[in-house]
Chains A and B, each alone.
Chain A
Amino acid sequence: MSAMAFADPAFESQAAFRAILRAIASPGAIEPCGRGLKPPSPLSPAAAAAILTLADFETPLWIAPSLAEWGEAAAYLKFHTGAPLAASPRDAAFALLDLERDSLDLKSFAQGAPDYPDRSTTVVAETRSLARRPMMRISGPGVRGMAEIEFGPTPGDFLSQWEANRSTFPLGVDLILAHGAEVAVLPRSVRVTGGE
Protein backbone atom coordinates (compact mmCIF):
# COMPACT_ATOMS: atom_id res chain seq x y z
CA MET A 1 0.00 0.00 0.00
CA SER A 2 1.67 3.24 -1.13
CA ALA A 3 -0.60 5.50 0.90
CA MET A 4 0.62 6.41 4.36
CA ALA A 5 -1.30 6.27 7.59
CA PHE A 6 -0.03 8.04 10.72
CA ALA A 7 3.73 7.54 11.03
CA ASP A 8 3.50 8.15 14.76
CA PRO A 9 -0.08 7.22 15.73
CA ALA A 10 0.04 8.37 19.36
CA PHE A 11 1.07 11.94 18.55
CA GLU A 12 -0.59 12.42 15.18
CA SER A 13 -3.94 11.06 16.31
CA GLN A 14 -3.71 13.24 19.43
CA ALA A 15 -3.10 16.31 17.25
CA ALA A 16 -5.97 15.39 14.93
CA PHE A 17 -8.24 14.76 17.89
CA ARG A 18 -7.44 18.15 19.43
CA ALA A 19 -8.23 19.82 16.12
CA ILE A 20 -11.62 18.10 16.03
CA LEU A 21 -12.11 18.91 19.72
CA ARG A 22 -11.47 22.61 19.10
CA ALA A 23 -13.74 22.53 16.07
CA ILE A 24 -16.68 20.89 17.85
CA ALA A 25 -16.22 23.08 20.94
CA SER A 26 -16.30 26.21 18.76
CA PRO A 27 -18.65 25.49 15.86
CA GLY A 28 -17.59 27.48 12.82
CA ALA A 29 -13.90 27.36 13.70
CA ILE A 30 -11.76 25.86 10.94
CA GLU A 31 -8.87 23.82 12.30
CA PRO A 32 -5.85 22.20 10.63
CA CYS A 33 -6.24 18.41 10.71
CA GLY A 34 -4.26 15.65 9.04
CA ARG A 35 -1.41 17.74 7.64
CA GLY A 36 1.29 15.42 6.35
CA LEU A 37 -1.13 12.53 5.95
CA LYS A 38 -1.23 11.09 2.41
CA PRO A 39 -4.36 8.97 2.09
CA PRO A 40 -5.28 7.31 -1.21
CA SER A 41 -7.52 9.39 -3.45
CA PRO A 42 -10.11 10.63 -3.30
CA LEU A 43 -9.80 10.91 0.51
CA SER A 44 -8.77 14.27 1.93
CA PRO A 45 -6.11 14.27 4.66
CA ALA A 46 -8.66 15.80 7.05
CA ALA A 47 -11.37 13.18 6.49
CA ALA A 48 -8.83 10.36 6.64
CA ALA A 49 -7.29 11.77 9.83
CA ALA A 50 -10.69 12.08 11.49
CA ILE A 51 -11.56 8.48 10.76
CA LEU A 52 -8.12 7.08 11.61
CA THR A 53 -8.27 9.00 14.90
CA LEU A 54 -11.77 8.05 15.99
CA ALA A 55 -12.80 4.77 14.37
CA ASP A 56 -11.83 1.23 15.38
CA PHE A 57 -13.25 -2.29 15.63
CA GLU A 58 -16.01 -1.01 17.94
CA THR A 59 -17.38 1.55 15.46
CA PRO A 60 -19.10 0.38 12.26
CA LEU A 61 -18.14 2.63 9.36
CA TRP A 62 -20.45 3.40 6.46
CA ILE A 63 -18.81 4.57 3.25
CA ALA A 64 -21.01 6.31 0.68
CA PRO A 65 -21.25 4.78 -2.80
CA SER A 66 -19.08 7.41 -4.51
CA LEU A 67 -16.18 6.65 -2.16
CA ALA A 68 -16.77 2.92 -1.86
CA GLU A 69 -16.08 2.73 -5.61
CA TRP A 70 -12.51 3.68 -4.86
CA GLY A 71 -11.47 0.30 -3.55
CA GLU A 72 -8.14 1.53 -2.31
CA ALA A 73 -9.64 4.26 -0.11
CA ALA A 74 -12.08 1.88 1.53
CA ALA A 75 -9.37 -0.75 2.00
CA TYR A 76 -7.05 1.86 3.55
CA LEU A 77 -9.63 2.96 6.14
CA LYS A 78 -10.62 -0.61 6.93
CA PHE A 79 -7.00 -1.75 7.23
CA HIS A 80 -5.81 1.09 9.43
CA THR A 81 -8.84 1.30 11.74
CA GLY A 82 -10.12 -2.27 11.86
CA ALA A 83 -13.62 -0.80 11.67
CA PRO A 84 -16.27 -3.16 10.32
CA LEU A 85 -18.27 -1.81 7.38
CA ALA A 86 -21.82 -0.85 8.34
CA ALA A 87 -24.55 -2.45 6.28
CA SER A 88 -26.58 0.75 6.22
CA PRO A 89 -26.22 4.39 7.34
CA ARG A 90 -28.47 3.61 10.30
CA ASP A 91 -25.97 1.07 11.64
CA ALA A 92 -23.00 3.39 11.38
CA ALA A 93 -21.04 4.99 14.22
CA PHE A 94 -19.16 6.92 11.55
CA ALA A 95 -20.18 7.67 7.99
CA LEU A 96 -18.06 9.06 5.20
CA LEU A 97 -19.53 10.80 2.17
CA ASP A 98 -18.66 13.38 -0.44
CA LEU A 99 -20.99 16.37 -0.67
CA GLU A 100 -20.18 16.77 -4.36
CA ARG A 101 -21.11 13.27 -5.42
CA ASP A 102 -23.32 11.78 -2.72
CA SER A 103 -26.70 12.96 -1.55
CA LEU A 104 -26.91 14.02 2.08
CA ASP A 105 -29.80 12.63 4.10
CA LEU A 106 -29.20 13.36 7.79
CA LYS A 107 -32.30 11.41 8.82
CA SER A 108 -30.97 8.21 7.24
CA PHE A 109 -28.27 7.92 9.92
CA ALA A 110 -28.51 6.68 13.50
CA GLN A 111 -30.13 9.43 15.58
CA GLY A 112 -29.47 7.96 19.03
CA ALA A 113 -32.16 6.98 21.53
CA PRO A 114 -33.90 9.28 24.04
CA ASP A 115 -32.06 7.60 26.94
CA TYR A 116 -28.83 7.17 24.94
CA PRO A 117 -28.62 10.10 22.50
CA ASP A 118 -24.88 9.42 22.12
CA ARG A 119 -25.68 6.30 20.09
CA SER A 120 -25.80 8.31 16.91
CA THR A 121 -23.79 8.54 13.70
CA THR A 122 -21.00 11.06 13.28
CA VAL A 123 -21.00 12.04 9.60
CA VAL A 124 -17.69 12.99 7.96
CA ALA A 125 -18.38 14.93 4.76
CA GLU A 126 -15.82 15.77 2.10
CA THR A 127 -16.34 19.28 0.78
CA ARG A 128 -14.90 21.26 -2.13
CA SER A 129 -14.64 24.45 -0.13
CA LEU A 130 -14.70 25.46 3.51
CA ALA A 131 -14.38 29.00 4.81
CA ARG A 132 -15.44 31.42 7.52
CA ARG A 133 -17.82 33.46 5.46
CA PRO A 134 -21.35 34.62 6.20
CA MET A 135 -23.12 32.25 3.81
CA MET A 136 -24.53 30.53 6.90
CA ARG A 137 -24.70 31.68 10.50
CA ILE A 138 -24.20 29.43 13.49
CA SER A 139 -25.45 30.05 17.01
CA GLY A 140 -25.74 27.94 20.13
CA PRO A 141 -23.44 26.16 22.58
CA GLY A 142 -19.77 26.87 21.84
CA VAL A 143 -20.49 30.01 19.85
CA ARG A 144 -19.96 33.45 21.28
CA GLY A 145 -22.72 35.45 19.67
CA MET A 146 -22.74 34.30 16.08
CA ALA A 147 -20.26 32.37 13.90
CA GLU A 148 -20.12 32.11 10.13
CA ILE A 149 -19.44 29.24 7.79
CA GLU A 150 -19.49 28.53 4.10
CA PHE A 151 -18.94 25.11 2.60
CA GLY A 152 -19.59 23.71 -0.78
CA PRO A 153 -21.30 22.23 -2.45
CA THR A 154 -24.13 22.82 0.00
CA PRO A 155 -27.14 20.59 -0.62
CA GLY A 156 -30.12 22.77 -1.63
CA ASP A 157 -32.16 21.62 1.36
CA PHE A 158 -29.29 21.72 3.85
CA LEU A 159 -30.76 24.41 6.12
CA SER A 160 -34.09 22.61 6.44
CA GLN A 161 -32.33 19.27 6.99
CA TRP A 162 -30.18 20.84 9.67
CA GLU A 163 -33.14 22.50 11.37
CA ALA A 164 -34.90 19.12 11.45
CA ASN A 165 -31.73 17.60 12.91
CA ARG A 166 -31.45 20.31 15.57
CA SER A 167 -35.11 20.25 16.46
CA THR A 168 -34.88 16.64 17.67
CA PHE A 169 -32.08 17.50 20.13
CA PRO A 170 -30.68 15.66 22.09
CA LEU A 171 -31.15 13.19 19.23
CA GLY A 172 -29.47 13.84 15.90
CA VAL A 173 -26.18 13.54 14.08
CA ASP A 174 -22.99 15.57 14.32
CA LEU A 175 -21.33 16.68 11.10
CA ILE A 176 -17.58 16.92 10.50
CA LEU A 177 -16.80 18.96 7.38
CA ALA A 178 -13.47 18.08 5.77
CA HIS A 179 -11.57 20.04 3.18
CA GLY A 180 -7.95 19.34 2.35
CA ALA A 181 -6.18 19.29 5.69
CA GLU A 182 -8.84 21.30 7.54
CA VAL A 183 -11.99 20.51 9.49
CA ALA A 184 -15.01 22.31 10.88
CA VAL A 185 -17.73 20.66 12.96
CA LEU A 186 -21.45 21.24 13.32
CA PRO A 187 -22.66 19.50 16.48
CA ARG A 188 -26.39 18.73 16.68
CA SER A 189 -26.81 21.42 19.36
CA VAL A 190 -26.29 24.43 17.09
CA ARG A 191 -28.71 26.39 14.99
CA VAL A 192 -27.66 27.11 11.41
CA THR A 193 -29.45 29.81 9.44
CA GLY A 194 -29.03 31.42 6.06
CA GLY A 195 -26.69 34.38 5.92
CA GLU A 196 -26.08 36.65 2.97
Chain B
Amino acid sequence: MSTRAYNFAYLDEQTKRMIRRAILKAIAIPGYQVPFASREMPMPYGWGTGGVQVTASILGPDDVLKVIDQGADDTTNAVSIRAFFVRTAGVRTTTDTSEATIIQTRHRVPETPLSEGQILVYQVPIPEPLRYLEPRETETRTMHALGEYGVMHVKLYEDISRHGHIATTYAYPARVAGRYIMDPSPIPKFDNPKLDDCPALQLFGAGREKRIYAIPPHTRVVPLDFEDHPFERTKFDSACALCGATDSYLDEVVTDDAGGRLFVCSDTDYCEKRQAAKRKDAAE
Protein backbone atom coordinates (compact mmCIF):
# COMPACT_ATOMS: atom_id res chain seq x y z
CA MET B 1 0.00 0.00 0.00
CA SER B 2 1.49 3.30 -1.02
CA THR B 3 1.11 6.29 1.21
CA ARG B 4 1.05 9.88 0.20
CA ALA B 5 1.63 12.91 2.38
CA TYR B 6 -1.05 14.81 0.51
CA ASN B 7 -4.19 14.03 -1.49
CA PHE B 8 -3.82 13.86 -5.26
CA ALA B 9 -5.54 17.00 -6.61
CA TYR B 10 -6.14 18.27 -3.05
CA LEU B 11 -9.51 16.62 -2.34
CA ASP B 12 -9.71 13.52 -0.14
CA GLU B 13 -10.99 10.30 -1.72
CA GLN B 14 -14.34 10.42 0.08
CA THR B 15 -15.07 13.89 -1.30
CA LYS B 16 -14.05 12.90 -4.82
CA ARG B 17 -16.33 9.87 -4.66
CA MET B 18 -19.28 12.03 -3.65
CA ILE B 19 -18.56 14.52 -6.45
CA ARG B 20 -18.03 11.72 -8.98
CA ARG B 21 -21.43 10.27 -8.14
CA ALA B 22 -22.99 13.71 -8.66
CA ILE B 23 -21.24 14.06 -12.04
CA LEU B 24 -22.58 10.71 -13.27
CA LYS B 25 -26.13 11.67 -12.25
CA ALA B 26 -25.69 15.04 -13.95
CA ILE B 27 -24.76 13.32 -17.22
CA ALA B 28 -27.64 10.84 -16.95
CA ILE B 29 -30.09 13.76 -16.42
CA PRO B 30 -28.76 16.43 -18.80
CA GLY B 31 -29.32 19.97 -17.52
CA TYR B 32 -30.59 18.93 -14.08
CA GLN B 33 -28.73 20.54 -11.18
CA VAL B 34 -27.47 17.80 -8.88
CA PRO B 35 -26.88 18.95 -5.29
CA PHE B 36 -23.50 18.08 -3.82
CA ALA B 37 -21.71 18.75 -0.53
CA SER B 38 -19.33 21.47 -1.71
CA ARG B 39 -16.09 21.63 0.27
CA GLU B 40 -14.07 24.56 1.45
CA MET B 41 -11.25 25.13 -1.02
CA PRO B 42 -8.05 27.09 -0.42
CA MET B 43 -9.36 29.97 -2.54
CA PRO B 44 -12.30 32.38 -2.31
CA TYR B 45 -15.71 31.41 -3.76
CA GLY B 46 -15.52 33.94 -6.57
CA TRP B 47 -12.50 32.02 -7.82
CA GLY B 48 -14.42 29.12 -9.20
CA THR B 49 -14.39 26.62 -6.35
CA GLY B 50 -17.18 24.62 -8.01
CA GLY B 51 -15.21 24.20 -11.20
CA VAL B 52 -12.06 23.45 -9.21
CA GLN B 53 -13.81 20.67 -7.29
CA VAL B 54 -15.16 19.12 -10.50
CA THR B 55 -11.72 19.26 -12.13
CA ALA B 56 -10.07 17.81 -9.01
CA SER B 57 -12.51 14.89 -9.04
CA ILE B 58 -11.99 13.91 -12.66
CA LEU B 59 -8.30 14.75 -13.08
CA GLY B 60 -5.72 11.97 -13.52
CA PRO B 61 -1.95 11.92 -13.93
CA ASP B 62 -2.19 11.60 -17.74
CA ASP B 63 -4.41 14.64 -18.23
CA VAL B 64 -3.27 17.85 -19.86
CA LEU B 65 -5.00 20.81 -18.25
CA LYS B 66 -5.86 24.22 -19.68
CA VAL B 67 -7.40 26.95 -17.54
CA ILE B 68 -8.95 30.09 -18.99
CA ASP B 69 -10.60 33.14 -17.52
CA GLN B 70 -12.69 35.23 -19.95
CA GLY B 71 -10.83 33.43 -22.73
CA ALA B 72 -7.34 34.26 -21.47
CA ASP B 73 -4.78 31.82 -20.09
CA ASP B 74 -2.75 34.51 -18.35
CA THR B 75 -5.13 36.24 -15.93
CA THR B 76 -4.53 35.95 -12.18
CA ASN B 77 -7.48 33.61 -11.74
CA ALA B 78 -6.41 31.23 -14.52
CA VAL B 79 -2.76 31.30 -13.49
CA SER B 80 -3.49 30.52 -9.85
CA ILE B 81 -5.90 27.67 -10.62
CA ARG B 82 -3.38 26.17 -13.03
CA ALA B 83 -0.62 26.52 -10.40
CA PHE B 84 -2.91 24.88 -7.84
CA PHE B 85 -3.27 21.73 -9.96
CA VAL B 86 0.41 21.64 -10.88
CA ARG B 87 1.22 21.77 -7.17
CA THR B 88 -1.40 19.27 -5.95
CA ALA B 89 -1.54 16.86 -8.89
CA GLY B 90 1.65 17.42 -10.86
CA VAL B 91 -0.32 17.43 -14.11
CA ARG B 92 0.94 18.82 -17.37
CA THR B 93 -0.67 22.10 -18.41
CA THR B 94 -1.11 23.79 -21.75
CA THR B 95 -2.58 26.91 -23.31
CA ASP B 96 -3.31 25.00 -26.53
CA THR B 97 -7.04 24.25 -26.72
CA SER B 98 -6.54 21.24 -29.01
CA GLU B 99 -3.89 19.65 -26.78
CA ALA B 100 -5.88 19.88 -23.52
CA THR B 101 -7.85 16.89 -22.23
CA ILE B 102 -9.56 19.03 -19.59
CA ILE B 103 -10.29 22.74 -19.96
CA GLN B 104 -11.51 24.65 -16.94
CA THR B 105 -13.16 27.90 -17.91
CA ARG B 106 -14.68 31.02 -16.50
CA HIS B 107 -17.11 32.88 -18.77
CA ARG B 108 -16.03 31.67 -22.22
CA VAL B 109 -16.10 28.68 -24.57
CA PRO B 110 -12.89 28.43 -26.62
CA GLU B 111 -13.08 29.48 -30.29
CA THR B 112 -11.17 26.41 -31.50
CA PRO B 113 -13.78 23.66 -31.92
CA LEU B 114 -13.59 21.04 -29.16
CA SER B 115 -13.25 17.36 -29.96
CA GLU B 116 -14.41 13.94 -28.75
CA GLY B 117 -12.89 12.96 -25.43
CA GLN B 118 -12.26 16.50 -24.22
CA ILE B 119 -13.96 17.77 -21.08
CA LEU B 120 -14.93 21.41 -20.59
CA VAL B 121 -15.44 22.38 -16.92
CA TYR B 122 -17.31 25.63 -16.31
CA GLN B 123 -17.02 27.73 -13.16
CA VAL B 124 -20.56 28.74 -12.30
CA PRO B 125 -21.55 31.53 -9.89
CA ILE B 126 -25.37 31.10 -10.04
CA PRO B 127 -26.56 27.78 -11.47
CA GLU B 128 -30.30 28.42 -11.20
CA PRO B 129 -31.66 30.10 -14.38
CA LEU B 130 -34.93 30.85 -12.58
CA ARG B 131 -33.35 32.36 -9.45
CA TYR B 132 -33.84 36.01 -10.31
CA LEU B 133 -37.47 35.33 -11.16
CA GLU B 134 -38.15 33.16 -8.12
CA PRO B 135 -35.87 33.38 -5.08
CA ARG B 136 -37.34 30.35 -3.29
CA GLU B 137 -35.43 27.13 -3.92
CA THR B 138 -38.51 24.93 -3.23
CA GLU B 139 -40.40 26.84 -5.93
CA THR B 140 -37.71 26.67 -8.61
CA ARG B 141 -37.23 22.99 -7.85
CA THR B 142 -40.96 22.42 -8.45
CA MET B 143 -40.84 24.44 -11.67
CA HIS B 144 -38.01 22.23 -12.95
CA ALA B 145 -39.83 19.09 -11.79
CA LEU B 146 -42.93 20.07 -13.75
CA GLY B 147 -41.00 21.54 -16.66
CA GLU B 148 -43.00 24.71 -16.07
CA TYR B 149 -40.90 27.39 -17.65
CA GLY B 150 -43.54 29.91 -18.75
CA VAL B 151 -42.17 32.51 -16.34
CA MET B 152 -38.82 32.35 -18.12
CA HIS B 153 -40.46 33.13 -21.44
CA VAL B 154 -42.37 36.00 -19.84
CA LYS B 155 -39.10 37.55 -18.64
CA LEU B 156 -37.54 37.28 -22.09
CA TYR B 157 -40.69 38.70 -23.65
CA GLU B 158 -40.57 41.68 -21.26
CA ASP B 159 -37.06 42.28 -22.54
CA ILE B 160 -38.43 42.43 -26.05
CA SER B 161 -41.21 44.87 -25.24
CA ARG B 162 -38.80 47.10 -23.32
CA HIS B 163 -35.81 46.98 -25.67
CA GLY B 164 -37.30 45.79 -28.94
CA HIS B 165 -35.10 42.68 -28.73
CA ILE B 166 -33.95 40.13 -26.18
CA ALA B 167 -31.53 42.14 -24.05
CA THR B 168 -29.98 39.21 -22.21
CA THR B 169 -26.46 38.97 -23.62
CA TYR B 170 -24.77 36.80 -20.94
CA ALA B 171 -25.88 33.60 -19.25
CA TYR B 172 -28.53 33.24 -21.93
CA PRO B 173 -30.82 30.38 -20.82
CA ALA B 174 -31.02 27.25 -22.94
CA ARG B 175 -33.03 24.04 -22.99
CA VAL B 176 -31.01 20.84 -22.78
CA ALA B 177 -32.11 17.67 -24.60
CA GLY B 178 -35.67 19.00 -24.80
CA ARG B 179 -36.20 18.99 -21.05
CA TYR B 180 -34.36 21.09 -18.45
CA ILE B 181 -33.65 24.77 -18.82
CA MET B 182 -30.16 25.59 -17.68
CA ASP B 183 -27.93 28.57 -17.10
CA PRO B 184 -24.85 28.16 -19.28
CA SER B 185 -22.87 30.28 -16.74
CA PRO B 186 -22.03 33.89 -17.64
CA ILE B 187 -20.68 33.10 -21.10
CA PRO B 188 -21.64 35.65 -23.78
CA LYS B 189 -24.62 34.49 -25.82
CA PHE B 190 -22.16 34.48 -28.73
CA ASP B 191 -20.97 31.18 -27.23
CA ASN B 192 -24.40 29.55 -26.86
CA PRO B 193 -24.34 27.88 -30.31
CA LYS B 194 -21.10 26.09 -29.34
CA LEU B 195 -22.94 24.21 -26.59
CA ASP B 196 -25.24 22.50 -29.08
CA ASP B 197 -24.11 19.11 -30.41
CA CYS B 198 -20.65 19.72 -28.94
CA PRO B 199 -18.38 16.64 -29.26
CA ALA B 200 -16.87 17.37 -25.82
CA LEU B 201 -18.42 16.61 -22.44
CA GLN B 202 -19.47 19.80 -20.63
CA LEU B 203 -19.55 19.87 -16.83
CA PHE B 204 -20.73 22.81 -14.71
CA GLY B 205 -19.72 23.30 -11.08
CA ALA B 206 -21.15 25.89 -8.69
CA GLY B 207 -19.25 25.88 -5.38
CA ARG B 208 -21.15 28.37 -3.26
CA GLU B 209 -24.52 27.12 -4.54
CA LYS B 210 -23.44 23.46 -4.30
CA ARG B 211 -24.69 22.29 -7.68
CA ILE B 212 -23.25 20.23 -10.53
CA TYR B 213 -24.88 19.87 -13.94
CA ALA B 214 -23.82 18.58 -17.32
CA ILE B 215 -24.33 18.46 -21.05
CA PRO B 216 -23.28 15.11 -22.56
CA PRO B 217 -21.52 15.20 -25.94
CA HIS B 218 -23.77 15.50 -29.01
CA THR B 219 -26.75 16.82 -27.08
CA ARG B 220 -29.28 19.36 -28.28
CA VAL B 221 -28.90 22.69 -26.49
CA VAL B 222 -31.38 25.27 -27.74
CA PRO B 223 -31.44 28.90 -26.58
CA LEU B 224 -34.87 30.10 -25.48
CA ASP B 225 -36.47 32.40 -28.01
CA PHE B 226 -39.70 33.31 -29.79
CA GLU B 227 -40.91 32.75 -33.30
CA ASP B 228 -41.09 36.48 -34.00
CA HIS B 229 -37.82 37.15 -32.12
CA PRO B 230 -35.46 34.28 -32.82
CA PHE B 231 -32.18 33.89 -30.95
CA GLU B 232 -29.48 36.03 -32.55
CA ARG B 233 -25.81 35.51 -32.03
CA THR B 234 -23.87 38.67 -31.17
CA LYS B 235 -22.17 40.06 -34.27
CA PHE B 236 -19.14 42.31 -34.33
CA ASP B 237 -18.65 45.10 -36.86
CA SER B 238 -14.89 45.03 -36.56
CA ALA B 239 -12.19 42.40 -36.95
CA CYS B 240 -9.56 41.53 -34.33
CA ALA B 241 -6.82 44.21 -34.43
CA LEU B 242 -4.14 41.60 -33.76
CA CYS B 243 -5.06 38.60 -35.92
CA GLY B 244 -7.81 39.91 -38.18
CA ALA B 245 -10.35 37.30 -37.09
CA THR B 246 -13.94 38.11 -37.93
CA ASP B 247 -15.40 34.95 -36.40
CA SER B 248 -14.32 35.30 -32.77
CA TYR B 249 -15.64 37.06 -29.70
CA LEU B 250 -13.95 40.44 -29.34
CA ASP B 251 -13.06 42.45 -26.27
CA GLU B 252 -12.78 46.21 -26.44
CA VAL B 253 -9.39 47.41 -25.25
CA VAL B 254 -8.54 51.02 -24.44
CA THR B 255 -5.10 51.66 -25.88
CA ASP B 256 -4.14 55.15 -24.73
CA ASP B 257 -5.14 58.09 -22.55
CA ALA B 258 -6.74 59.83 -25.51
CA GLY B 259 -9.46 57.17 -25.48
CA GLY B 260 -8.11 55.20 -28.41
CA ARG B 261 -9.62 51.74 -28.49
CA LEU B 262 -9.47 48.61 -30.52
CA PHE B 263 -11.06 45.20 -30.58
CA VAL B 264 -9.08 42.01 -29.95
CA CYS B 265 -9.97 38.35 -29.56
CA SER B 266 -11.00 37.40 -26.03
CA ASP B 267 -9.56 33.90 -26.68
CA THR B 268 -5.81 34.50 -26.39
CA ASP B 269 -4.79 31.01 -27.60
CA TYR B 270 -6.92 31.36 -30.73
CA CYS B 271 -5.56 34.84 -31.43
CA GLU B 272 -1.91 33.91 -30.88
CA LYS B 273 -2.20 30.85 -33.12
CA ARG B 274 -3.69 32.97 -35.89
CA GLN B 275 -0.95 35.59 -35.48
CA ALA B 276 1.74 32.89 -35.60
CA ALA B 277 0.19 31.39 -38.76
CA LYS B 278 0.20 34.82 -40.41
CA ARG B 279 3.86 35.37 -39.51
CA LYS B 280 4.70 31.96 -40.94
CA ASP B 281 2.83 32.75 -44.15
CA ALA B 282 4.64 36.09 -44.43
CA ALA B 283 8.05 34.45 -43.89
CA GLU B 284 7.49 31.86 -46.59
Q: Which residues of A contact B (CB under 8 A)?
A: 7-11, 13-15, 17-18, 20-22, 24-26, 53-56, 58-59, 93, 114-118, 120, 122, 140-144, 169-170, 174, 187-189
Q: Given A7-B1, A14-B59, A170-B32, are A144 and B218 also a contact pair (CB < 8 Å)? A: yes
B residues 3-38 with Cβ under 8 Å of A? 4, 7-8, 13-14, 16-18, 20-30, 32, 34-35
Q: Given A24-B28, A115-B145, are A56 and B17 also a contact pair (CB < 8 Å)? A: yes
Taking a contact as CB atoms under 8 Å apart, the answer to whether A141 and B1 are in contact is no
Taking a contact as CB atoms under 8 Å apart, the answer to whether A118 and B22 are in contact is yes
Minimum CB–CB distance from A37 to chain B (whole Å) comes to: 15
Taking a contact as CB atoms under 8 Å apart, the answer to whether A11 and B60 are in contact is yes
Q: Which residues of A contact B57 (CB under 8 A)?
A: 17
Q: Other than the known A118-B22, A141-B218, what 17 A-B pairs have Cβ atoms closer than 8 Å?
A: A8-B2, A11-B60, A13-B16, A14-B60, A18-B58, A21-B58, A24-B27, A25-B201, A54-B24, A55-B17, A56-B17, A56-B18, A141-B30, A142-B217, A144-B217, A170-B179, A189-B29
Taking a contact as CB atoms under 8 Å apart, the answer to whether A25 and B216 are in contact is yes
Minimum CB–CB distance from A6 to chain B (whole Å) comes to: 10
Q: Given A7-B2, A25-B201, A59-B21, are A142 and B13 also a contact pair (CB < 8 Å)? A: no
Minimum CB–CB distance from A171 to chain B (whole Å) comes to: 9
The 7 tightest CB contacts between A and B, nearest first, are A187-B28, A142-B216, A114-B145, A118-B25, A141-B219, A141-B216, A144-B218
Taking a contact as CB atoms under 8 Å apart, the answer to whether A115 and B216 are in contact is no
Partner pick for B219 among A55, A93, A142, CB 8 A cutoff = A142
Q: How far is the CA of A157 from the CA of B25 in the complex (A)?
A: 25
Q: How far is the CA of A144 from the CA of B116 in the complex (A)?
A: 11
Taking a contact as CB atoms under 8 Å apart, the answer to whether B29 and A25 are in contact is no
Q: How far is the CA of A126 from the CA of B199 in the complex (A)?
A: 30
How many residue pairs between the two chains, A and B, have CB atoms under 8 Å in the bound complex? 109
Q: Which residues of B contact A17 (CB under 8 A)?
A: 20, 57-58
Q: Given A115-B141, A118-B34, are A141 and B177 also a contact pair (CB < 8 Å)? A: yes
Partner pick for B8 among A14, A18, A21, A174, CB 8 A cutoff = A14
Minimum CB–CB distance from A106 to chain B (whole Å) comes to: 14
Q: How far is the CA of A21 from the CA of B34 in the complex (A)?
A: 16
Q: How far is the CA of A115 from the CA of B60 in the complex (A)?
A: 33
Q: Given A21-B23, A142-B27, are A117 and B4 also a contact pair (CB < 8 Å)? A: no
Q: Which residues of B contact A18 (CB under 8 A)?
A: 58, 60
Minimum CB–CB distance from A51 to chain B (whole Å) comes to: 11
Minimum CB–CB distance from A151 to chain B (whole Å) comes to: 18
Q: How far is the CA of A135 from the CA of B213 in the complex (A)?
A: 32
Taking a contact as CB atoms under 8 Å apart, the answer to whether B142 and A142 are in contact is no
Which among B8, B22, B29, B145 has the highest number of chain A CB atoms within 10 Å?
B29
Minimum CB–CB distance from A92 to chain B (whole Å) comes to: 13
Q: Which residues of B contact A56 (CB under 8 A)?
A: 14, 17-18
Taking a contact as CB atoms under 8 Å apart, the answer to whether B32 and A118 are in contact is yes
Q: How far is the CA of A93 from the CA of B25 in the complex (A)?
A: 11
User: Is B260's beta carbon under 8 Å from chain A?
Assistant: no
Q: Which residues of A contact B142 (CB under 8 A)?
A: 115
Q: Which residues of A contact B219 (CB under 8 A)?
A: 141-142
Taking a contact as CB atoms under 8 Å apart, the answer to whether A187 and B27 are in contact is yes
Minimum CB–CB distance from B205 to chain A (whole Å) comes to: 14
